Chains A and B, each alone.
Chain A
């Protein structure tokens, strides 16, 4: 044990000689991605290596990651910190809210808030500017009590937040019928209102599509929404560990106006530009980065889009394969002995199967959420979750496969003098192999599909462009992840089928053929 500790310390001290990369996180919507990219590129230009864990699933995931050391810095909004993390409400003055979060985060979590990046991105009740139903309305009070037929779309988290729907509807007397309320992915709600699927949305005030889709913001005349000023959050010791971090953040403080942010969001959300390119252009325009501004890319077909993103595709494909492979191998190592053991111990089977079955019924996102406080974000919790999901088909099929072996064969083998282990290895497993392989195929398909969710906790993989694509309504991005993921699942299924088949005895195959 002591030797192990010593070895770890030694490894740790070697690591200190190379520069540790700074891990930047972001949530999975364009503005957060763009802000995070700006900081990442500034740091890289100063020679600080950066690891990007963008597209984290939400405030809880991103904040937990920061708090538990999975990431070093990420952008969030003062209002979010105030309401969602500190669970406070009431104060509406931007300066005071900033003071409160700065003070409380430092004392509670040792996390520092930077100054505001400049703009304010608050919630806004938004309608179509040319909607005759609301032509009279300019402020939210104007529609009080007149909404019994209006349909509202709002982001998921708005429905849950302290400063969200409940208080909002109460203060303004917004009398929506419950059946007319829809929670939507934030990226998708703009298209929903444009296409008249809903009449009103709770939008973000800096979203480019408000202007582009000719939408109208009703003024928050009762000052219900707290201020949402963007800032970077980092633990105090990160500023010591990464000497360039402070200056890089400071150069972005107050640097982005509301119009500039709206314009950049529009570039990404509607015009399908890459957040990294948009962030880079902005930094160059502001004189924070050297180089020349890249021109905007035209709309592409999916194939040429994929080719243009070849490098990214290879990277996420590699991550996806690694995640799935490690999870499946670990599951195999555990499941096969476990499945065998359960055929020997009836009592244990009665305990283990309900557990494995229950794990399978936990929604994957919820499972990932549970694991973050324990394992942080990134590779480890993602692999653990995938591992847990692949247990059931593997354990069950091993168990059922061995149970299904004719007792006559076992009896005959024991009768001629095989030991229990020899019976298992030479008789039971070869005979159960087709069923175990079927379980392996099921598990692999489940794992490859579920691994797309790993992106939400910063483990990368093919889910990364899918979630970015959903957030920015970019179908090319969605397909960039979805097509390879589907192909990978099919290919892996076929591959295991083919390779596995080679290990199944011809005698068994003939038997199946006769039975068919």
Chain B
């Protein structure tokens, strides 16, 4: 479904943020990119969304080549969620979710029913929440609206940059659960950037551990716990798990 090949980013003047990253995810699979800060995980995610232009490499989504279309229309095809949701404070829930669709001049009735549908999915009743502003929502509710906004145009791929990072542990746990169940229904291909190994173990079908711009190991929870690729992986799991 999504295929990333030899992705590389060299920032001026000659700082290699991402050296060579390749991985694949199937439809419905969740991949968690994890690593310490500065390992290149966010840069990788932003390259996939073309917020950062790759120096070299390939990104394919269902056969479409990301680098052969213009950046703005590529971003519109991909769902994107960032930390603290990035909801626009001057727009209410409905307008936040439908922002892109309105800009693309989608039909009014379609927008209306799609927003209503998505708000059912994220467990925030339309009538009750549609006119609220972000400031009137809890952190967890904001994050759910952020996800709904990313799903508005029904993208095949969802990119999430530390989506649950700003939440308290209890909210985070229940949202993890909700999110997992949601994707059982939606079957999206999802890439989550996180620094929390617990989160990666809980949500990721595939865990991609990065260090200094390269992938150290790709695998599932069992692979990491039972077959760590090297000492760094072992230390990383220990350090994170006992945090």
Listed in ascending order, the chain A residues whose CB lies under 8 Å from chain B are: 408-409, 411-419, 422, 426-427, 430-431, 505-508, 510-511, 514
B72 touches A430 (CB 8 A): no
**Given known A-B contacts A415-B51, A416-B149, A431-B89, A511 and B135 have beta carbons under 8 A apart:** yes
Chain B residues closer than 8 Å to A418, beta-carbon distance: 72, 99-100, 103
Tell me how far the C-beta of B47 lies from the nearest C-beta in chain A, rounded to whole angstroms. 12
A506 touches B80 (CB 8 A): no
Chain B residues closer than 8 Å to A422, beta-carbon distance: 103
B135 touches A412 (CB 8 A): no
A411 touches B51 (CB 8 A): yes
**Given known A-B contacts A426-B99, A514-B135, A415 and B88 have beta carbons under 8 A apart:** no
Which of the residues A414, A417, A419, A427 comes within 8 Å of B88, measured between beta carbons?
Answer: A427
Q: Look across to chain A and name the residue whose beta carbon is closest to the beta carbon of B75.
A: A417
A417 touches B90 (CB 8 A): no
Query: Cβ of B133 < 8 Å from any Cβ of A?
Result: yes
**Given known A-B contacts A411-B86, A508-B90, A417 and B133 have beta carbons under 8 A apart:** no
A409 touches B51 (CB 8 A): no
Query: Cβ of B92 < 8 Å from any Cβ of A?
Result: yes
B84 touches A416 (CB 8 A): no
Across the A-B interface, give the 10 residue pairs with the lowest CB-CB distance, nearest first. A412-B86, A507-B133, A417-B76, A505-B90, A417-B75, A415-B80, A430-B90, A507-B90, A510-B135, A507-B89
**Given known A-B contacts A414-B51, A507-B135, A508-B89, A419 and B84 have beta carbons under 8 A apart:** no
Chain A residues closer than 8 Å to B92, beta-carbon distance: 506-507
Chain B residues closer than 8 Å to A426, beta-carbon distance: 99, 103
Per the bound structure, the CA–CA distance linking A426 and B96 in Å amounts to 11
Q: Look across to chain A and name the residue whose beta carbon is closest to the beta carbon of B45.
A: A415
Per the bound structure, the CA–CA distance linking A507 and B90 in Å amounts to 5
Chain B residues closer than 8 Å to A511, beta-carbon distance: 89, 135
Tell me how far the C-beta of A436 lies from the nearest C-beta in chain B, rounded to whole angstroms. 13
Tell me how far the C-beta of A516 lies from the nearest C-beta in chain B, rounded to whole angstroms. 13
Interface string of B74-85 (1 = CB under 8 A from A): 111101101111
Query: Cβ of B150 < 8 Å from any Cβ of A?
Result: yes
Chain B residues closer than 8 Å to A431, beta-carbon distance: 88-90
Per the bound structure, the CA–CA distance linking A39 and B47 in Å amounts to 80
Per the bound structure, the CA–CA distance linking A411 and B45 in Å amounts to 13
**Given known A-B contacts A507-B135, A514-B135, A415 and B82 have beta carbons under 8 A apart:** yes
**Given known A-B contacts A422-B103, A426-B103, A507-B92, A412 and B82 have beta carbons under 8 A apart:** yes
Tell me how far the C-beta of B53 lies from the nearest C-beta in chain A, rounded to whole angstroms. 13
Tell me how far the C-beta of A406 lies from the nearest C-beta in chain B, rounded to whole angstroms. 9
Per the bound structure, the CA–CA distance linking A408 and B73 in Å amounts to 21
Interface string of B90-103 (1 = CB under 8 A from A): 11100000011001
Per the bound structure, the CA–CA distance linking A44 and B157 in Å amounts to 82
Query: Cβ of B143 < 8 Å from any Cβ of A?
Result: no
Q: Look across to chain B and name the residue whose beta carbon is closest to the beta carbon of A414.
A: B51
8 further contact pairs, Cβ within 8 A, besides A412-B80, A413-B86: A408-B82, A408-B84, A416-B100, A417-B76, A418-B100, A426-B103, A507-B91, A514-B135
Chain B residues closer than 8 Å to A411, beta-carbon distance: 51, 82, 86
Tell me how far the C-beta of A425 lies from the nearest C-beta in chain B, rounded to whole angstroms. 10
Per the bound structure, the CA–CA distance linking A8 and B234 in Å amounts to 84
Query: Cβ of B44 < 8 Å from any Cβ of A?
Result: no
Which of the residues B84, B91, B149 comes within 8 Å of A505, measured between beta carbons?
Answer: B91
Q: Look across to chain A and name the residue whose beta carbon is closest to the beta carbon of B77.
A: A417
Tell me how far the C-beta of B166 lies from the nearest C-beta in chain A, rounded to whole angstroms. 11
Chain B residues closer than 8 Å to A505, beta-carbon distance: 89-91, 133
Tell me how far the C-beta of B41 lies from the nearest C-beta in chain A, rounded to whole angstroms. 16
A510 touches B51 (CB 8 A): no
Which of the residues A415, A419, A430, A507 comes within 8 Å of B134, measured between beta carbons?
Answer: A507
**Given known A-B contacts A426-B99, A431-B90, A505-B90, A414 and B75 have beta carbons under 8 A apart:** yes
**Given known A-B contacts A409-B86, A415-B86, A417-B76, A510 and B136 have beta carbons under 8 A apart:** yes
Q: Look across to chain A and name the residue whose beta carbon is closest to the beta carbon of B103.
A: A422
Query: Cβ of B189 < 8 Å from any Cβ of A?
Result: no
Tell me how far the C-beta of B98 lies from the nearest C-beta in chain A, rounded to whole angstroms. 11
Q: Look across to chain B and name the residue whose beta carbon is closest to the beta carbon of A425.
A: B103
Q: 23 A-B Cβ contacts within 8 A?
A: A408-B82, A408-B83, A409-B89, A411-B86, A412-B86, A412-B87, A413-B88, A413-B99, A414-B51, A415-B49, A416-B79, A416-B99, A416-B100, A417-B74, A417-B76, A417-B77, A418-B99, A426-B103, A505-B90, A507-B89, A510-B133, A510-B136, A511-B135
Per the bound structure, the CA–CA distance linking A427 and B99 in Å amounts to 10
Chain A residues closer than 8 Å to B72, beta-carbon distance: 417-419
Chain B residues closer than 8 Å to A416, beta-carbon distance: 75-76, 79-80, 99-100, 149-150
Per the bound structure, the CA–CA distance linking A411 and B83 in Å amounts to 11
Per the bound structure, the CA–CA distance linking A511 and B133 in Å amounts to 9
Chain A residues closer than 8 Å to B135, beta-carbon distance: 507, 510-511, 514
Chain B residues closer than 8 Å to A408, beta-carbon distance: 82-84, 86
Per the bound structure, the CA–CA distance linking A512 and B158 in Å amounts to 33
Per the bound structure, the CA–CA distance linking A508 and B75 in Å amounts to 27
Chain B residues closer than 8 Å to A415, beta-carbon distance: 49, 51, 75, 80, 82, 86, 159
